[in-house]
A and B are shown apart, each in its own frame.
Chain A
Amino acid sequence: MTSLVTFLSCLLPTVAGTLWVPTFLPGGTGTVAGWGFRISLGAGIGLGAGSLAYFFLLSCTAPVSAARLFLFEAVLFSSLAYIAVRYLKEATPETSPEPAAKAFTVPRWALRTLAALFFLLAAGVILTEVFLTFDRPHGGWDAWAIWNLRARFLFRGGEYWRDALSPLLSEIHPDYPLLLPGLVARGWTFLGRDAVSFPAVLALLYTLSTIGMLTSSVALLRGSFQGILAGVALACTPVFLRHGASQYADVPFGYYMLATFALLHLAGTSKSQRAMSLAGFATGLACWTKNEGVILLGALAAVWFVRVLNSNVRKFEIRRAGWFVLGALPALLALAYFKFALVPPNDMISEFELAAVLKRVADPARYLEVGAAVVREAIFQLHLPLLAAYLLFSGVSIRKGERGAVLRSWASLSLIFAAYLSIYVITSKPLAWHLGTSLSRLMTQLFPSLLLTFFLTATGVTAQTADHGKGIAVPEPGRGEGMAGRRKGRKRRK
């Protein structure tokens, strides 16, 4: 019974999200990669909407009963799904710039072998996550001391759920946003008890969805071979799997960051305003997952501002930004209410002393310590030298018309990374302890988005067909090798 209710409580928002998402995408979702993108993105978007709905209901009418929650979600999700299906019929594919980048060609069997390896790895990921969960069913320290603890307050506390946000619990960061605890408490409300298995199922779902979204988004944008390669690279990263099973909020946050970058890239290349609003919704959910979401939002805003300054279509850019903000609004409103009306200030802000911060900023030893820790993490945990070697071998080749979008992704990621590092430089906490307890998680947040941007930068690889010889080739039209290529293929067949 527990398994069935867990399954159903995840299914409702996932199905609604999967139906809802294509309305916002610029066509091209009918292929395997398209369906993969649709489902992996729809799952997270739907679950995020579920968390917001639960928080709304909790804030208005606590305690939340399963019947009331079901009724509210059924009305909300079916309305959204109805609107999505209705608009989907009316939606017309939008134009995308022609793919114009060189690509290596590999034999068809290489693609099939890689695909088989990917599915084996995906099964391995599930087994690994299950084993890690059996080893620590309550998750890692932060999972039970912060995230699941707060879910217990929300679920068990009834009308006293706000006790989770008491300043008396400053040690467990009451100011952390509520996407994950809200989702866990939502699932427990349906189950009627706080089953240990539910947060573990959510952790697995986000881990698999991140791999699925990375694979499918790269496959849509750069072809199946590159997509599967990106998925393999992520699935082969033990630190990502470990954090995935830990039930921390870092993998869900990394998921929403990846969704943001993938959607912004799609929106940028297709000039789609609907994709912009979905990117905004994903960014809003990132802010609703972790405080680092504000850094993501700040980095995107900074890059957008520079773009507007250098743009000769400023009105268009401002209108696009408006769609982005509109999408982010539901989560940002929830966050604003949470931050300004419910919780004490963040410990790093309340402990801020300018003189002490300036002293730390002027200390070169701190930069060395942070730099050394980052290099260790990059080499031994994320295996970045392998990516560097791949880039040396393949070379750089960004599609014409996508250079701006790819460069903006790199700029945003660099700003986020710089912000993370600067927090370590100024932190009042013991630096070695702070690095040891969080650096690995922060880099895991960035890693899926880094892989996406990396594979958009590296020279593409396409699988050989009867029409194509060896050597440099354009992506295959109509065979799952890029959205614009597929559309071109469809037109040609018509």
Chain B
Amino acid sequence: MTLYEARYNEVRKHLPSHGIIGYVSDPKEHNEDRLAWAFTQYSLSPLLVIDRSVNPKGRDYPIVIGNFHRAVPGDDRMRGLSFVRDFGNGVFLLRKAAE
């Protein structure tokens, strides 16, 4: 957990101090998707981190955190998103592209 939190140290400086951000990740097996989201939510609190693949409301928020363990997915998950910065270790800052 401590190491997982450390992955977000840099990106945290570029996020608002409170409010809601979107979350996107690559598909994982079994329960790992939820585990990865929960780790991220715990690490970035008091921000509300809304998983776009679970809650459609997550697609409304302009700032999106990417948490990829294997590869950046090329499917529907990434639609309408553009990369802002790569923070290494699979952590990306993304932004909802203007419609």
Contact = CB atoms under 8 A, between A and B. Distances in A.
Interface of A: 137-138, 141, 144-145, 148-149, 152-153, 156-158, 160-161, 163-164, 166, 168-169, 171-172, 196
Contact of B46 (A157, A168, A196): A157
B97 interface: no
Contact residues on B (Cβ < 8 Å of other chain), bracket:
10 to 19
B57 interface: yes
A158 B2 CA distance: 23
A161 to B, nearest CB: 8
Interface of B: 1-2, 18-20, 34, 38, 41-42, 45-46, 48, 50, 54-55, 57
Contacts of A163: 18, 46, 48
A152 B42 contact: yes
Contacts of B50: 168
Contact of A145 (B18, B38, B55): B38
A161 B34 CA distance: 23
Dominant secondary structure of chain A at its interface with chain B? helix
Contacts of B20: 168
B57 A168 contact: yes
B1 A166 contact: no
Contact of A157 (B1, B18, B34, B38): B18
Contact of A137 (B2, B45, B46, B48): B2
Given A145-B38, A149-B41, A157-B18, A164 B46 contact: yes
A157 B1 CA distance: 21
Nearest to B34: A171
Nearest to A151: B45
Contact of A149 (B18, B45, B57): B45
13 contacts: A138-B42, A144-B42, A145-B38, A145-B41, A148-B42, A152-B45, A153-B45, A157-B45, A160-B18, A168-B20, A168-B55, A171-B34, A172-B38
Contacts of A196: 2
Contact of A166 (B2, B48, B54): B48
Given A145-B41, A160-B18, 5 more contacts: A149-B41, A153-B46, A158-B46, A171-B54, A196-B2
Nearest to A157: B46
A310 B63 CA distance: 64
Contacts of A168: 20, 48, 50, 55, 57
